[in-house]
Each structure stands twice: as structure tokens, then as C-alpha cells.
Amino acid sequence: MKKRKETKGRSVEPIICIDLFDDQQKKKKKMAVAGLCDDLIVEIFTRLPPKSLVRFKSLNKWWCRRICSPDFIRRHTLVCSPQKSFLFMHELFQPGESKTLYTIHSEDGLPLIVKKTDGIPIRISFKFPYPESAQIIASCNGILCISERGNNTPIITQNNTTPLISLWNPSIRHKLTLPPLPSTQSWFVCNGVAAGFGFGFDPKSDDYKIIWIDTFGSGKRPKSAFVYALKTGAWCEIAYPASPFTRFWSRGCFLNGALHWLVDFHIPTTKVKKRYVMTLDLSTHVFGTIALPEPNCAARLLTTIKGSLAVISGEPKKRWICWVRGKNHTDNTNAFWYVVYKTKTDPFSDIAKVFELTTNDGNFLLGTHYACHQVYNFETGVSSGLQRLSARCATVDIEQCVETLELLDRGTAYVENQPSQWRKREIQI
């Protein structure tokens, strides 16, 4: 604001001059600074753990909508790069009843038995939000796919009205129940293997998909295959695999946008029997096959090692071999199997799941059918047992998981009881 000077013999009223251009520039600068602050805050928030972000939803409505938006959830999953963890399911046996609890452990915090005299440490456990017969079938980006029926139990009821498959994120405790399977034929989870089932992420459509392959058929209806897309919330039939097979030998292994299963092809009359890897591209829904190293019938488990597909082959009470599928550097189209480990003992007689531990080369977490889980080193042949949650508890299942915000924008929050602490003096028999 400027004042005009007085002249001789007369006085002049002061004239106020407002610089509108300066005010507009200041407003633009303020808006730019505010926008820059918001961008910085979002960038910081994408690097925070999910539990903190769930609490920050209560800051205001704007941040609640922002944190729960699909774009923020996907960005957080890609940017955060959380540490790999493992969820342990425990069966607590008490007189007249039993309970299912779960604990979560980081890779470097597994409850290993270092000495035989080691006591049971204090650990926080939570009530498992499913029936005791429920079983974890697969996991992807922190989401666990669960069937609410156990071993050798039909997963579909006779009236086909009860949805028994759901997705669950233990990091944020969100649960999403799927609609009933379109098949009317019961299927089974036998020996820890979910026959004809797979769960993974399709990067092209940015969507999670569940695959169900009905190998039975019923009446006039032929064998069929279905895919469930999380975005559409519905099952859709896809073309059945062209390659003949008689049964699934392993659970689905997800890698690089595709699912992989070990399957058998057996004709009793001709005694023809072989085993191979059946694949499914989650983007195109096209099935394929991968030949196994010979003898192919010795293949027992599928897993991933250093980001590549791996198969563990061998016979009970004999030496086991771990193969990894790689590609030539000169020709990426030609893939081949090569040996990475040969075991000195037989740790795989009752193994159902194998997880690579990145904290130490050669260490793998082995999940068994009979609660004798262990950490085994392929290079040294040394194994370490895992401590039980309590003297009356048995660890019945193990699954890999990471902390993410997936399912925060859908499903319902599961409010569980307060965590309980287990102390050595409380569980002595």
C-alpha cells in the first residue's frame, strides 16, 4: 500500500493500491506448498507398516479415504517391501475342548530349539478366526486363502448354500468370504494338498484370482475349471486343461503371474505313469505343461528358490535332490533344470510345504503333516526343531505371509479377543 505525497496548498487523500498479481502468486505458492506437503506425507505413509496406517485412518475422513483407496493399497504393497514372515497355527488341547491359535514370526525370529533344555518363551498368540477344521491352502501378498474344512472333508455342503472359502489378511485382520463354488461335486483336501486349487495375483489386470479345477465331474456335466476374480466378485468358467491328468500331487505354487501344480497321469490298463508340472497363466487363463527331470515320478514338492521354480525329488529313506528351473543367458526361451542341492539325509518323508529362508543360504523351513516342523540346511544337513507354543499345544500348520494393506478396501474387519501371553510357569503339566 502506497500513500501519495502532499502538494503545496492542498492535501490529497491517501490512495490505497492493491497488487492483485502479488496476491494471486502468493495463493499459488501456498497451494503448491500444501500439495507438496501432501505428496511428501503420502510418500512417507507408503513406507509405514500396515498396523500404523490402520490407526491413521482415524485422523480425518480425507486420510481414511486415501489410505483405503485401491491405488494407495497397491502402491504400499509395491513400495513398502515388507520382511517375509510366517504364520504358525497352533492347536491347544484342553480337557473337554480345543482351541486354534496363531502366532506370527519374522524370518530371523523363528522359535528355534537351540538346546534341549530351552524353555518355552513368552509369545503373543491370537485366536484363529476360523473353525478348528479350517486349513490354509495358499497365500499371496499377505492374503491367506482358507478353506473351512479340514483333511478328507468335503468343502461343499449338500445344499451348496454355505460359502466355505475365504480370504484373510492377518496383518489388518480383514476377512472376505467368497460366494459358493459353481461346482456341485464335493472336493477334498487330502494329505495337506488342495486338489485342483490355486491362488495368485494377475499383474496385467491388477487383480487377485482363485482357480478351482473340478477333476470329478458329475452326471452329464463334464469336468470343468473356474476362476474367481476379486474385482468382479464372481466365478467364471474357463477352458479345461488339454493335457490329460488323473490327480494333483502338490498344492498350487504361484510364481511370476502363473500357477504351477505337480500332476499325475496314470492309465492302469497300460501301466503308463508319468508326472509333470501343469501351469496356468492368470492373465490369459491358458494351461500349459513343463516336463520334469528324470525320473519324473520321483518329484514330490514344488517351491521357489531365489525367484525361480524349484522341484524336490527323491524317494523315502534315500537321498533327495533339489532342482531349479533356469534359462540360458543367450536364449531366454529355452529353460532347463539344474541341481542346486543334494541332501545327505532324508528330511522330506512327511513334508507338505517348503519355504526358502533368505536370512541364511541353504536354510529352509519345512512344514510337515504331523506337526514335526523344522528348519533344515541343505548344505550342511543340519536340522533344528521349533519350540511349541505351550506344553499342551501342537503346531499344526505353517504358511508364509507378509504385512500388507490388501483387503483393507473390501471385506469386513475381524475383531478378535485380546492377545494372550504364554509363560513357561503357566503351562507346566
Using one digit for the tens of pLDDT, what is the confidence trace for 394-403? 888 899 989 9
Secondary structure of residue 245 in the 3-state scheme: coil
Q: Is the pLDDT of residue 184 over 60?
A: no
- Report CA-CA distances (Å) from 410 to 119, 176, 231, 306, 413: 41, 7, 10, 32, 9
d(CA 401, CA 134): 17
Q: Say what the pLDDT of residue 419 is.
A: 44
**Lowest mean per-residue pLDDT among 21-30, 204-213, 346-355:** 21-30
Using one digit for the tens of pLDDT, what is the confidence trace for 42-75? 888 888 888 889 888 888 888 888 889 989 998 8
Q: How much is the mean pLDDT over the chain?
A: 77
d(CA 55, CA 49): 10
Q: Say what the pLDDT of residue 151 is.
A: 47
Give the residue carrying C-alpha cell 542346486: 340
State the helix-helix crossing angle for 70-80 and 20-45, rounded to 10 degrees: 60
CB atoms within 10 A of CB 107: 18
**Domain identity same for 66 and 167:** no
Mean pLDDT for 68-93 is: 86
Helices of type H across 58-212:
61-67, 70-80
**Domain identity same for 284 and 345:** yes
Q: Is the pLDDT of residue 381 over 90?
A: no
Q: Say what the pLDDT of residue 20 is.
A: 47
Q: Provide DSSP, 375-423.
A: EEETTT--EEEB--SSTTEEEEEEEEE----TTTTSSEE---PPPEEE-
Q: Give which of 77, 325, 107 is closest to 201, Cα–Cα.
A: 77
**Domain identity same for 87 and 70:** no
Burial level of 179, CB count in 10 A (0-12/13-18/19+)?
exposed
Higher pLDDT, 273 or 28: 273
Say if 13 falls within a structural domain: no
Using one digit for the tens of pLDDT, what is the confidence trace for 352-371? 889 998 867 788 998 877 66
**Domain identity same for 277 and 343:** yes
d(CA 82, CA 49): 8
**Domain identity same for 391 and 286:** yes
The most confident of 33-42, 65-74, 263-272, 372-381, by mean pLDDT: 65-74
d(CA 304, CA 355): 8
Say if 162 falls within a structural domain: yes
- Report CA-CA distances (Å) from 138 to 52, 166, 204, 287, 342: 26, 11, 21, 19, 27
**Domain identity same for 39 and 97:** no
Mean pLDDT for 2-8 is: 51
**Contact by Cβ (8 Å): 208, 140:** yes
Q: Say what the pLDDT of residue 114 is.
A: 65
Q: Residue 221 has what DSSP assignment?
A: B
Using one digit for the tens of pLDDT, what is the confidence trace for 268-292? 666 668 899 999 999 999 999 999 9
Say if 375 falls within a structural domain: yes
Q: Which amino acid is at 316?
A: P
Q: Is the pLDDT of residue 427 over 50?
A: no
Q: Give the containing element (helix H, strand E) for 33.
A: helix 20-45
Higher pLDDT, 386 or 185: 386
Mean pLDDT for 33-39 is: 61
Number of domains the chain contains: 2
d(CA 210, CA 229): 7
Give the residue carrying C-alpha cell 503333516: 369
Domain residue limits at 275 = 83-426
Higher pLDDT, 98 or 259: 259
Higher pLDDT, 154 or 207: 207
Using one digit for the tens of pLDDT, what is the confidence trace for 210-242? 998 877 665 556 778 999 999 999 999 999 999
pLDDT band for position 245 (cuts 50, 70, 90): confident
Higher pLDDT, 299 or 318: 299
Say if 4 falls within a structural domain: no
CB atoms within 10 A of CB 288: 15
Pairing of strands 363-368, 224-229: unpaired
Grid coordinates of 391? 506344553
Grid coordinates of 421? 501371553
Secondary structure of residue 116 in the 3-state scheme: coil
Mean pLDDT for 143-156 is: 66
Q: Say what the pLDDT of residue 205 is.
A: 93
Say if 92 falls within a structural domain: yes
pLDDT band for position 410 (cuts 50, 70, 90): confident
**Domain identity same for 49 and 27:** yes
Grid coordinates of 341? 542341492
Grid coordinates of 424? 513357561
Using one digit for the tens of pLDDT, what is the confidence trace for 94-129? 777 778 888 888 888 888 876 554 445 546 678 888
Q: Provide DSSP, 341-361.
A: EE-SS---TTEEEEEE-TTST
Using one digit for the tens of pLDDT, what is the confidence trace for 332-351? 557 889 999 887 666 666 78
Q: Say what the pLDDT of residue 284 is.
A: 96
**Domain identity same for 152 and 252:** yes
Q: Is the pLDDT of residue 246 over 90?
A: no
**Domain identity same for 367 and 337:** yes
